[in-house]
Structure 1
């Protein structure tokens, strides 16, 4: 069976815009692709952290901005195009997360998480898609999460935002693949990042950001649509998603909610 996307096995000269590159998975993936020879534009709010990621990589482009500033997207995109000549692949990796049960959610906090995790992706798509569609090539990679597979405790806003990204990636694939574009859905399990450091519970199959970055690169090389890892954890959640609700709720209540 053919891969759902074109495989990416050579990164030399490939122009990547990595949004959310200052820490965690984004920073590790930026380093992975820079070492492979890609021309990577690094974006996030904190310029000093981006400079650290870009250190010793002359082909890196540091392009900090606030992803919630809709007007800034077009300016940053133009700057990156001026420096690199265009964007072959954009990776949406920025995320907000606060562990909370449903009764702890505030309207302002929920609105901020949804704006970062979901709204910013729509702004980014509106920014890059016209040029990609005009030339009939390009790639969109969306970092969602296995938290979007099923409703899990402590992910009262984060989980639904990631479920929406999974849905978005699926419909983007059916829209854009016939027009020459590739779409990748990246669903990590638990990864050691500043976001997961907030968790006060055991995180099974916890991975380093570097291991996550290598798994993502392998997924690109295989032309996968969904890149999920580590399999020993993600496959369990995939199975949980297919169980009848009565069984699923019982397992979540017994194993994941403190008694």
Structure 2
């Protein structure tokens, strides 16, 4: 099990649920997100469950702030042996409303924000030649989803990043996992005009993620029975996949 974990995107959804699950298992958790108020609520909830979470407000798009946060965590909580990067954002975008500004904003958080966190934590893990990193991508990164023209590319980039780094980091004693979830029930999804099929709770996602990290899986499918089927879509020829993708476009169109 892990001793000290740094979790980004911890104010809601998967990040929040996973931070609480780790804290309940006795892990010293350092939680980061932009909202100080939500982080304070998270710390109180962890205390109620018998755990402990230290909060470190952070905008992951700020590289210097990421580096400073790691130094503060190492000094105040302990040597990080698990870094779990969950912070992310989304914005519906397709051909009709394509915007370079929207694409850049989503990429800045989802991809560059993760790259910043990696830059901040890798030196301490490499020096100790020990540690685990979990990067949250998405099944939407397997192939382009209609209506996800900002989100899907950012998650595809994270999958490729993890595949590129895995071998080098393993030689340095660092284990890297890419986490690919299906849709998770959040306040946003609860406002959808129609329900997303097989959407899972953040608590279910957290359980699958922690189990996958403990088993040293490179790819963690969340949940495996749904995400695994979508992964198979990577092998479909374009003539088959592109018409099928319209179904996924209907899921996006149901979003508020």
TM-score w.r.t. the length of structure 1 is 0.90
Whole-angstrom distance in 2 between the partners of 1:121 and 1:173: 15
Q: From the superposition, tell whether residues 200 and 106 of structure 1 become closer, same or farther in structure 2 (CA, over 3 Å).
A: farther
The CA deviation at 1:209 is 0.3
Does residue 1:103 correspond to 2:83, yes or no? no
The alignment partner of 1:90 has SS state of strand
Name stretches of at least 5 consecutive residues in structure 1 with no aligned partner: 1-9
Name stretches of at least 5 consecutive residues in structure 2 with no aligned partner: none
Q: Is the 8 A contact 2:6 2:29 kept in 1?
A: yes
Q: Is the 8 A contact 1:70 1:123 kept in 2?
A: yes
The CA deviation at 1:200 is 4.5
The alignment partner of 1:102 has SS state of coil
Q: Deviations over 1:68-98 (max 9, x none)?
A: 2222112211211111232111111001101
Does residue 1:37 correspond to 2:26, yes or no? yes
Whole-angstrom distance in 1 between the partners of 2:64 and 2:174: 25
Q: Deviations over 1:155-199 (max 9, x none)?
A: 111000000000111111111011110001100001012454565
Counterpart residue number, 1:175: 168
Counterpart residue number, 1:50: 39
Does residue 1:163 correspond to 2:152, yes or no? no
| C-alpha RMSD of matched pairs (Å) | 1.8
Does residue 1:120 correspond to 2:109, yes or no? no
Q: Is the 8 A contact 1:25 1:193 kept in 2?
A: no
Does residue 1:222 correspond to 2:211, yes or no? no
The CA deviation at 1:101 is 1.6
Q: State the aligned residue count.
A: 247
The alignment partner of 1:91 has SS state of strand
The CA deviation at 1:102 is 2.8
